[in-house]
Chains A and B, each alone.
Chain A
């Protein structure tokens, strides 16, 4: 069995985002990058499946982006993936979801992966398109928003999270692609021995120019803070002072405190 996990590196979401020189995306200056949270659930699910099946599956992790994304690939290797593919692209932030999916599809085509895991969406772009488009390009059945996953003989069963707490259970024939929602599992922290072992695992580098021949279908035209709607009060400063001010406001405005 061959499994592919596609991951992306994103900035820490607590960062202060500023436009870059082109004004269409964020500046990476002083940004700390980490593996996209949804993708950590994808890695974990793939590693658990490998463990459950007695280590037989061959687990490849792929990431498209500049050199920094190798750190994300190394984390996935330390979590239990067997090998990595780095699709080198120093301007990946300017590629649209269709282009990213096309480049990954070019890498995956002919490899006969039985299962592909991706995150539901990235925390930075948030388009939720790449996984589904990849499945379409490979003609794989695809289930999104997985919060439950079971592997059978030539099939997988996925519990999809819908609105209002309702779930839908669907079955897919393999090969198949599953996009992972938060809560699917508990992603592990890599242990030190596994971090050391991961250093010896292969990471193959592929220039994106060899994989991508598609023009963008969307053009990025601006990046900015949302308009401030809230006329809310902002309390800054010392905690005791903030506590007093908040109690005063609650007494004034809510009638819940006397």
Chain B
């Protein structure tokens, strides 16, 4: 069994989460080849073949050309699986590759099942199993679902090329918005999620944060709604945090949020939905209306 692993390079750097592709291939027991649109000075630590296309020529944000590079590597390798991360790069590229090969794609694989793959669904609350028809199969992997495995060694480089131009013109990267507050240093973070209901309720979350001597965090929908500044956002597209205590208030637990906070020392979640995915990482799940519970907790702590 052969797997073609599609690694990622961003702003000239090899992205370490690409090593999770090896972890997945190991679980399948597949032989691996890697494809990277990147730079010769930034290569993965692995043996075997790495197909390298120069990011200077092919760009980092040029998915049509990257698709053609993947198809060229598939032509040479005839893999059973083409595997990407379920990242902004992977979910953008994978469907183009699947359409180009006229084959199945399964998105955000979290585990290998006996006769198929397990995928999250219903905002991570449920799982489903899906079986691909035909071969090869294009897969994207949930970030963090498989262990990062660094095989070590020096790759045998093979150049790979594609003709023509892409359909996107890359104008440049923009840096992240400035951090309003350095959550990375906070011992306690009390985070607000959509479950707080409205902007005015941020104050109740801030009051609990003050009572615990901590900072205020937030999930993405709270930032998107304009209830708090972007600098407070915890998650894949915000800050990654690991305080001693993390209190998630009205946060259901989207995977992007969990990825940013699950290394916290002790996690308390307050949510009226007992089935919410946040319960999976919480040390304590308080099943309650957040706007009843939080002020009551704050008042008691003040005594």
**Residues of A bordering B, CB below 8 Å:** 11, 13-14, 16-17, 24-26, 96-98, 101, 120-121, 123-129, 132-133, 136-137, 141-145, 157, 159-173, 182-183, 186, 215-226, 228-230, 232-236, 239-240, 242-244, 246-247, 249-250, 253-257
Bound complex: CA of A232 vs CA of B266, how far in Å?
10
Nearest chain A CB to B124's CB is how many angstroms away?
A: 8
Q: Check if B170 sits within 8 Å of A230, measured CB to CB.
A: no
Q: Check if A169 sits within 8 Å of B300, measured CB to CB.
A: no
Q: Check if B133 sits within 8 Å of A132, measured CB to CB.
A: no
A24-B128, A133-B95, A217-B133 are known; give 15 further A-B pairs, CB within 8 A.
A17-B125, A26-B126, A101-B99, A136-B96, A136-B99, A142-B167, A166-B176, A172-B169, A183-B220, A224-B128, A226-B127, A232-B279, A236-B287, A240-B296, A242-B288
Chain B residues 252 to 303 lying within 8 A of chain A, measured CB to CB, are 252, 265-268, 273-275, 277, 279-288, 292-293, 296-297, 300-301
Q: Check if A166 sits within 8 Å of B175, measured CB to CB.
A: yes
Bound complex: CA of A166 vs CA of B238, how far in Å?
9
Q: Check if A222 sits within 8 Å of B285, measured CB to CB.
A: no
Q: Check if B133 sits within 8 Å of A219, measured CB to CB.
A: yes
List, in ascending order, chain A residues with CB within 8 A of B177's CB.
165
Q: Check if A256 sits within 8 Å of B98, measured CB to CB.
A: no
| Contact of B168 (CB < 8 Å), options: A172, A229, A254 | A172
Q: Check if B121 sits within 8 Å of A124, measured CB to CB.
A: yes
Count, A-B residue pairs, CB within 8 A = 258
Bound complex: CA of A176 vs CA of B224, how far in Å?
25
Q: Mark B83-124, 1 if CB is under 8 A from A, else 0.
A: 000111101101110111001111110000101100111111
| Contact of A243 (CB < 8 Å), options: B131, B213, B296 | B296
Bound complex: CA of A219 vs CA of B130, how far in Å?
6
Q: Mark B66-92, 1 if CB is under 8 A from A, else 0.
A: 000000000000000000001111011
List, in ascending order, chain B residues with CB within 8 A of A127's CB.
105, 107-108
Helix, strand, loop or mixed for chain A's interface?
mixed
Q: Does B210 contact A (CB under 8 A)?
A: no
Residue of B nearest to A168 (CB): B61
Q: Does B183 contact A (CB under 8 A)?
A: no
Q: Does B46 contact A (CB under 8 A)?
A: no
List, in ascending order, chain A residues with CB within 8 A of B128's CB.
24-25, 220-224
Bound complex: CA of A16 vs CA of B126, how far in Å?
10
Residue of B nearest to A148 (CB): B174
Q: Mark B211-231, 1 if CB is under 8 A from A, else 0.
A: 011000000110111100000
Q: Check if B285 sits within 8 Å of A225, measured CB to CB.
A: no
Q: Check if B172 sits within 8 Å of A253, measured CB to CB.
A: no
Given the known inter-chain contacts A171-B169, A186-B226, A219-B133, please indicate yes or no for A235 contacting B120, CB distance below 8 A.
no
List, in ascending order, chain B residues with CB within 8 A of A143's CB.
168
List, in ascending order, chain A residues with CB within 8 A of B54's CB.
none
Nearest chain B CB to A165's CB is how many angstroms away?
A: 3
Given the known inter-chain contacts A141-B168, A217-B103, A221-B131, please indicate yes or no for A183 contacting B283, CB distance below 8 A.
no
Nearest chain B CB to A48's CB is how many angstroms away?
A: 16
Nearest chain A CB to B278's CB is how many angstroms away?
A: 10
Point out which of A164, A168, A250 has the most chain B C-beta atoms below 10 A from its C-beta: A168
Residue of A nearest to B226 (CB): A186
Q: Check if B288 sits within 8 Å of A160, measured CB to CB.
A: no
Point out which of B103, B107, B282 has the most chain A C-beta atoms below 10 A from its C-beta: B107
Bound complex: CA of A132 vs CA of B107, how far in Å?
13
Q: Does B153 contact A (CB under 8 A)?
A: no
List, in ascending order, chain B residues with CB within 8 A of A124's CB.
121-123
| Contact of B297 (CB < 8 Å), options: A169, A171, A173, A243 | A243
Bound complex: CA of A157 vs CA of B171, how far in Å?
9
Given the known inter-chain contacts A132-B92, A170-B168, please indicate yes or no for A232 contacting B221, CB distance below 8 A.
no
Nearest chain B CB to A242's CB is how many angstroms away?
A: 5
Q: Check if A219 sits within 8 Å of B91, measured CB to CB.
A: no
Q: Does B132 contact A (CB under 8 A)?
A: yes
